[in-house]
Amino acid sequence: MNQVIAFLAPKIIGGAAAPSPVGELGMVEMTQALPVADVSFEQIGPDMLVSGFLKEIPDLRVTTTNSLELQNEASKVEVTNACVSEVISFYKAWNPYGAFSNFSPHPVSIPDAEGYLYTWRSTEHFYQAQKFEGVQDTIAQQCVQSIQAAESPEEAARLGRTLERQRRDLVRSNWESTKLTVMYEALLAKFSSYDYLRKLLLSTIGQVLIEASPHDYFWGCGRDGTGFNHLGKLLMKVRNELQIQQQKENLNGSFMTSFQNHVP
C-alpha cells in the first residue's frame, strides 16, 4: 500500500483556480475519489495531520474478446490464453513497469518543426508542450518555456493542463486529431533511445499492456476498466515497431554472417 499524509490547516480558500492538495490528478467527481484505509488523526499545533493508506490498484484482466479488439488497435497483440490474456498493468513511475509511465524520468530528444533536435526531461514534458506548439501568443509560448524548464513531469503536466483548461483558445486547433500521433512520437523516441527500456518493452511481447489509472478514461482503463487505454495501445504499437526493427537487424546480421562465411 502507498501511505498518504496530509495536513489540514484552519484556512479557507476558494475559486476555480484555488490550489488543491492533489493537484491536477483529474479526480473532479466523488465517483472518482480514491478510498483511504486505516485513517488516523493527530493535532500538530493549529493543524490536523491525517494519514492513511491507498490500496494498490489490482491488475485488470481482459477477456479474449477485448484482447482481440486490442490486437487490432496494437498491431496483432498475441492472445496467449484461450480464456484470459496475460495482462501487465502499470500506473505510477515507481511501481513495477513504471518505466511505461509518461512520468518516468527518462529524457527524450525529438526534432521540432524546423528539424532542430531538442531534449525534453520526459515524454510528459514533450506532450504537454505540444498542446501549444505553433500558437502565436505570448501566454502560450511562456507556458511552453515553463513546461520545458519544469523540474518534474508532474509540474509539466500541471502547467499544460491548467492552461488548457483555462484558455482553450490557446490550444492548437488540430490538437484533438493529432495528440495520439504526438504521444506515439514521444514513446517511440523514448523506447528507441534506451536499450534497457527497449528490452523491457520487448520482454512483454504476447501480453496486453494497460495503464491502470483509476481516473483517466482516455489514456488509461479507468476505475471500472471501460477506459480507452490509449497509452497501453500506443505502447503495444511501439513494441510492434521495435520488434520489426529487431527482426530486420537479426536478418541482416544473419545475412552478413552467411556472406562472410562463403567468401573465398
Tens digits of per-residue pLDDT, 132-142?
999 999 999 99
> Ranked by mean pLDDT, which of 7-16, 119-128, 249-258 comes out on top?
119-128
Tens of pLDDT, residues 75-104: 444 433 333 358 999 999 998 899 999 999
Instruction: In whole angstroms, give the CA distance from residue 120 to residue 135.
Output: 19
Q: Where are the domains of the chain?
A: 2-54, 57-106+194-256, 115-176
Q: What is the pLDDT of residues 191-209, one digit of tens each?
A: 999 999 999 999 999 899 9
Per-residue pLDDT, 18: 64
The arithmetic mean of pLDDT across residues 28-55, rounded, is 68
Other CB atoms within 10 A of residue 154 CB: 16
pLDDT over 70, % of the chain:
72
pLDDT at 243 over 90: yes
